[in-house]
Structures are given as C-alpha cells and as structure tokens.
Amino acid sequence: MLAKMIDKIVSLKETKTFEIGGQTYTDGHLTRIPPHVDRPEAISVSGLDGVCKLIRTELEKVGTTIMVQAKSYKSVEVMTTYLPDFSRNILYRAEADAPGIYTGFRSREVALIELRSLFIPNEGTAYLLDLLGRMTDEKSVSTNDNGVTQTVEARQGVALNALVEVKPRVLLRPFRTFLEVEQPESEFLLRVHPEEGIGFFEADGGIWKLEAKKNIADYFNTNLADLIEAGKVVIMQ
C-alpha cells in the first residue's frame, strides 16, 4: 500500500505533455539549463593605450572579430562578436581616471587651485584667473542700496578690488575623459556670491559627453587603423 502511494506521488511530479488542436502543451514549467562554458576574465585598465596594447597582444588568440565600444565619456568595453552559442565574451574594460569637476560654489583659493590643476588652459581659464586675482577675501562688507547702486553685505565673503564686469558664461576644458584624447570644451555659468564664493555650473546640458565619446572612437580609429581595415576590429560609440 505504501509503495503504491509513493509511486502515485512520484507520478504526480512528472511533467506531462498534451496535444490540443495541433499544439503541444505541458503541465509543468520547463527551464533551460545552458551548458557551462569557460570564459576569460575581463581585464580592467585605466587608459586607452592599454586597451590597444591588449588587443594587439591577444587578438590572434581570440580567434574572432573584436568590437570596441565607447559606452560613455569615461568607459570603454571590448568584446567578441557572437560566439557559436550566440553569446559574447567581455575581454577588457577601461575606466577614465580623470579628476573631473564638481558644479557648485567654492572659496576663491580653491577655485584658483582647481583652475590651475583641473583645467586645460584656454581663454576661459585665463579670464577667470585674472578675475580671481582681482578679488580679496573680506571679513566685512557693508550694504548700501540707494536705488541706483548696491553693495552686498557679508561677514565673510568676496569683494572686487576694482569695478570689473563679470562674464555670466565662460568656456572651460576640465579633465573629464581619457587623457589620451582631447578634452571637450563646454560652457559654464559663473557666479560670484559674497558668502559662498565662486560658483561654476555646467550649462551645455551634457553635450560635451557626446563629443568625448566621438574623441574616444577617433582615437581607436587612428591607433587600430590597420586592424580595422583588415576586418579584425570594429569600433562603435
């Protein structure tokens, strides 16, 4: 009796199929278990030159076309084309180790340091360095508003040594992508606040990121031109 009950329970767990109207149905949920495939571990580097060296060193061992994709302004991924099981192997990844720049207010001293260390010199940085050089930190600034002119009161703030017209927008080129490519120039809003200091605010809506991706793709098109022409490497962005 017990053996019959066990056989009945086992039979209830078996998956059954039914033919209805020319279609095959099952009373169980089937899950495909793909076979195990050994895959290479992706290598991470911080520069585009390292990606090029890896491709040239290991291309023949890969045995298939390699695809290089600029996934963002600061990341690159290298993968194979479809393998026989329609999967891809991720071979290399690169993340830009660029300092970038944060938007917001900072003190005059911090702004001066950032302009000299985090930006490529151009007309915008020259203008800001000259402007900040005309400013002094004030412990007290009085307020006077007669309807025509106004001075701003602040216990600790920033004042101009001379009357200088401040440009509302400046073009700057901060280090934001891989150092092997040209850093995109973008527009920043400039604000001078008597209490909070100097403010930089990105004003181009992030269009510079598209330019950075194009610069990355151009770098690979130049440095891997022979492999691209031979059909061994494909560049995407």
Q: For residue 112, what pLDDT is reported?
A: 93
How does DSSP classify residue 42? P
Residues with Cβ < 8 Å from 176, sequence gap 6 or more? Answer: 73, 74, 96, 98, 100, 101, 183, 184, 208, 212
Residue range 155-200, pLDDT digits in tens? 445 555 555 667 888 999 999 999 999 999 999 998 888 788 889 9
What is the pLDDT confidence band of residue 25, given thresholds at 50, 70 and 90? confident
Q: For residue 166, what pLDDT is reported?
A: 74
Q: For residue 157, what pLDDT is reported?
A: 53
Q: Is the pLDDT of residue 7 over 70?
A: no
Structure-model confidence comparison of residues 20 and 216, the more confident one: 216
Residue range 93-142, pLDDT digits in tens? 999 999 888 889 999 899 999 999 999 999 999 999 988 887 766 544 33
Run of H or E including 14: none
Residue range 60-106, pLDDT digits in tens? 988 889 999 999 999 999 999 887 777 889 999 999 999 888 889 99
Residues with Cβ < 8 Å from 164, sequence gap 6 or more? Answer: 131, 134
Q: For residue 143, what pLDDT is reported?
A: 36
